[in-house]
Amino acid sequence: MENNEYPKTLILVTFITLIPILIVSDLFFSDDVEIDEIESSSGECILGDCENGYGIYAFDDNSKYIGIFKDNQAVPEQGNLWLHISDEFKEGAESFYLRANSVEIGEKYLYAEDMSDLREEFNPFNAKSFTNYVEINCVNTSARPLHTKMYSEPLAQGEVTATSEELTVAFDFVAFSESERGAVYAIICEEAEDFKINPSLDSIVFKLPLPRTNNTFDTSVSSF
């Protein structure tokens, strides 16, 4: 991406991350109450068994819960909520997701998990999606994947076709301004400063200080 496109992307990502996360947080997080039943929420089961088994549930904002369901409810400890960020990365060739409550604040860096769905297979690995565990340098406004897994099916499903460890690949830091996902990381860095001051701040992005228990969440989580 050209540097002069970065401010526009940052504004766009700020907008598209705000609305979906507000919607999903209302469905998945509340004060010591059970998650709303999937059948009464807004969206649909797109794969598997979303009543009693393993499945993928897509919300109207295109965020996805992937994991175990019991009695029409998502089981938080046995699945992940992937926050939909955009379908327009790489001129529409890539959909981008951030795993809810995955961002950890280290001494020097932030760490996050994201996922990309590809419109076409990424050769030579025949991958239709991949996940990254990312190291984010807020001071130098750059980031790099530490671990990458490529999958044969969308939404990190199917067989693992390759990993960065198997390929002995080491990634360099890339400036936020050189990628669309960098705009997402820039917003995360800004929000991290508030989270450092008040670690009990409600968030659907940062790793929460209190553990989840059964089908409840111990903190109320609002927007990022």
- In this model, does residue 203 exceed pLDDT 90? no
Q: E-strand spans in 91-138?
A: 94-99, 104-105, 110-122, 127-137
The DSSP line for 62-100 is: S-EEEEEEETTEEEEEEEEEEEEEEEEETTTTEEEEEET
**How far is it, in rounded angstroms, from Cα 74 to Cα 17?**
22
- In this model, does residue 191 exceed pLDDT 60? yes
210's CB contacts (< 8 A; 6+ apart) are 218, 219
In the chain, which ranges are continuous DSSP H helix? 6-28, 180-197
Compute the average pLDDT of residues 96-124: 90
**How far is it, in rounded angstroms, from Cα 127 to Cα 129?**
6
Compute the average pLDDT of residues 103-127: 89
pLDDT, tens digit, for every residue of 72-88?
Answer: 888 988 999 999 998 88
Compute the average pLDDT of residues 147-161: 94
Confidence of residue 199 (pLDDT cuts 50, 70, 90): confident
